[in-house]
Amino acid sequence: MVRHFALLQAFVAVARAGKMRQAAQELALTPGAVSQRVRQLEEAAGHRLFTRTRAGVELTAAGETMFAALAEPFRALEAVDGELGVVPSRRVTVSAVPSFAATWLVPRLASFARRYPDIEIAVETGLRPVDLKREPIDLAIRHGLGRYPGLDATWLVAPALIVVASPDLLRDRPPLKEPADCRAFPLLHDLNRQDWPFWFEAHGVAAPNCKKGPAFSENHLIVRAAVAGQGLALVRDIYAADDLRSKKLMKALTVNWPLQFAYYAVTTSEAAQKPAVRRFRDWLIEEARHET
């Protein structure tokens, strides 16, 4: 039903505008996406709905009949949307983990607003991976290895995490020389328990039990647990900087950061066709380049 509505919506927009490009702008899609939807509708209907002209497109007799049946219902729907203030084409809903949103994304959004004042960004945070194919989220910023089957993933930035621990935890133990050595220690996690498994995988280390250990909802809580000697923490250096300076924590291991373990902009192919989503993703890429 939703798919059929999208095809009919594209048909009505093209019939009104008389041009694919103008209809695409109104729907916040690419001209190719609009053309594809029209073709799919024509295949379902079993006949051509438009003929191409130098000026654009014109309705066929079958198209005229269909447009006559759809024009008034779509006007009624648009009137309701207008009363509700719905402007879907200019709104981009973004999902991100709280730490990335607070320390990286939100401080930069003012520059996006200056460049695109007509696009509204709505940021939702949480640790649960959203289902982009079922939930009303246009783009998610995910931390991982970039493997998201069925979705478009764009590498953004790979801010290095550091392995820290209290001096008491490391005392009287052999020094950590490589990632595999971390398996001998208790590990501290965020609530989704993904960072350590991804980190080990990126380093080519088998660590089947690496999800065990206490988990915390905020990075500063992970750092506090590390200061208390409860385990190794894998965190951004900004969260541990004060405790490193005061010697309450120390870097337990120094290794090159695996670049594939990074933040990715992830979206569906359909959402990526919307101009507002593409502009936001392009802006993210541009901002991320400043980090490298």
CATH number at residue 80: 1.10.10.10
Domain identity same for 12 and 77 = yes
Q: How confident is the model at residue 149 (pLDDT cuts 50, 70, 90)?
A: very high
Helix (H, G, I), strand (E, B) or coil at 47: coil
Domains held by the chain: number: 3
Confidence of residue 1 (pLDDT cuts 50, 70, 90): very low
Amino acid at 239: Y
Claim: this prediction has a pTM higher than 0.75: no
- On whether both 47 and 116 belong to a single domain, the answer is no
Residue 15 has pLDDT above 60, yes or no: yes
Nearest to 141 by CA among 111, 183, 105: 105
Residue 168 and residue 133 in one domain: no
Q: How many CA atoms lie within 13 A of 87 on its CB side?
A: 9
Q: Which of 86, 118, 134 is the last residue of a domain?
A: 86
pLDDT(86) > 60: no
The whole domain housing 170 covers 161-253
169-184: burial string, b at 16+ Cβ within 10 Å, e else: bbeeeeebeebebbbe
pLDDT band at 210 (very low <50, low <70, confident <90, very high): very high
Residue 83 has what pLDDT?
Answer: 53
Mark whether 16 and 141 lie in a shared domain.
Answer: no
Cβ proximity of 38 and 49 under 8 Å: yes
Residues 266 and 235 in one domain: no
Q: What is the mean pLDDT of residues 269-273?
A: 86
Are 132 and 274 in the same domain? Answer: yes
**Boundary of a domain, candidates 86, 106, 141:** 86
Last residue of a domain, one of 35, 51, 86: 86
From the list 199, 261, 183, 285, the residue with the least C-alpha distance to 234 is: 199
In this structure, what token pair is assigned to residue 133? 């194919």
Least confident of 159-163, 180-184, 199-203: 159-163
Mean pLDDT taken over the chain: 87
**Are 74 and 125 members of one domain?**
no
Q: Indicate whether 128 pLDDT > 90.
A: no
Whether residues 142 and 279 fall in one domain: yes
Q: Is 101 found in the same domain as 46?
A: no
Q: For 21-74, what is each residue's pLDDT tens digit?
A: 888 777 767 777 788 889 988 998 898 999 988 878 899 999 999 998 988 888
Do 237 and 180 lie in one domain? The reply is yes
Q: What's the rounded mean pLDDT across residues 215-225?
A: 91
Q: Which residue has the tokens 């009363």?
A: 83
- Residues 97 and 81 reside in one and the same domain: no
Region 249-271: mean pLDDT is 88
Backbone angles phi and psi of 233, in degrees to 5: -115, 140
Question: Which CATH number is 170's domain given?
Answer: 3.40.190.10
Backbone angles phi, psi at 32, to 5 degrees: -60, -40
Q: Is the pLDDT of residue 158 over 50?
A: yes
Same domain, yes or no: 137 and 265: yes
Predicted confidence at residue 251, as pLDDT, reads: 93
Helix (H) or strand (E) holding 140: strand 139-144
